[in-house]
Amino acid sequence: MAAPKKLHLQLILLLSICSVLSWKPWLSSASSGTVSTEEKVKLELYYETLCPYCSRFIAKYLPQLFDTGLISITDLSFIPYGNAKIGPNATITCQHGEYECLLNTVEACAIDAWPDLSEHFPFIYCVENLVYEGKYTAWETCFANLGMDPTPVTDCSASGRGKELELQYAAVTNALEPPHTYVPWVVVDGQPLYEDYMNFISYICKAYKGSTKIPACSELSATVSHLGILRLLNPFW
């Protein structure tokens, strides 16, 4: 029985290494680019950690920003609060229960501990991918998988700092105009995308006014033009 156990441990180690290495292209994309901060399109995601639509968006759609290189023209920010409510004595009640409140705070603390997107996005992605797979109770494995020190986040979430951050996110969320009515609530340059949020890439390209040519946006424009011609030729296409 020793050999299978040894093989099992080797597989776990290999999967952990592959998990960390898979982030390298994303990390370099997030930290590089020639577009000035003023030219970047602001993309805000208002969400809650155990919302299935939110985890799906983060795990399956947001990575397109990095895969296409659009992150170089995007100022992406996360607001992990969602539909939570503030009660007496500043108590926070979350839509999906106490565990969601915990993970909202954990992700808020990750953003606070690692302000650089190239650091906190991999962690948020890892946690939300576990949520998407129904394995969110294993969220602490993300630290080891990504080679990150858990101390700044766990200390923050266990202290008053975590609560302070969540109250700040509550204020930002409750100040939205127009107010959010569900999550994920995706906003591009101040304009909510409503139910069309999965097409956020096209909205970023439309909002971008910089001089640097973005291949992904050019390809998208060409595709849209091609589809328009096809529809003119055949309205039933």
Q: Is the pLDDT confidence value at 5 over 80?
A: no
Answer whether 0.75 is exceeded by the pTM.
yes
3-state secondary structure 87-111: CHHHCEECCCCHHHHHHHHHHHHHH
pLDDT at 13: 39
Q: What is the mean pLDDT of the chain?
A: 86
Q: Is the pLDDT confidence value at 21 over 80?
A: no
pLDDT in tens, 52-106: 999 999 999 999 999 999 999 999 999 999 999 999 999 999 999 999 999 999 9
- Alpha-helical (H) ranges within the chain are 2-21, 24-31, 52-56, 64-67, 98-113, 117-132, 141-146, 151-157, 160-174, 200-207, 215-233
Residue 80 and residue 108 in contact, taking contact as beta carbons nearer than 8 Å: yes
**Mean pLDDT, residues 119-123:** 98
pLDDT at 26: 54
Considering only residues 213 and 177, tell me which one the structure prediction assigns the higher pLDDT: 177
Which amino acid appears at position 116 of this protein? D
Q: Is the pLDDT confidence value at 17 over 50?
A: no
Integer Cα distance of 139 and 103 in angstroms = 9
Considering only residues 111 and 23, tell me which one the structure prediction assigns the higher pLDDT: 111
pLDDT at 35: 86
Integer Cα distance of 188 and 46 in angstroms = 11
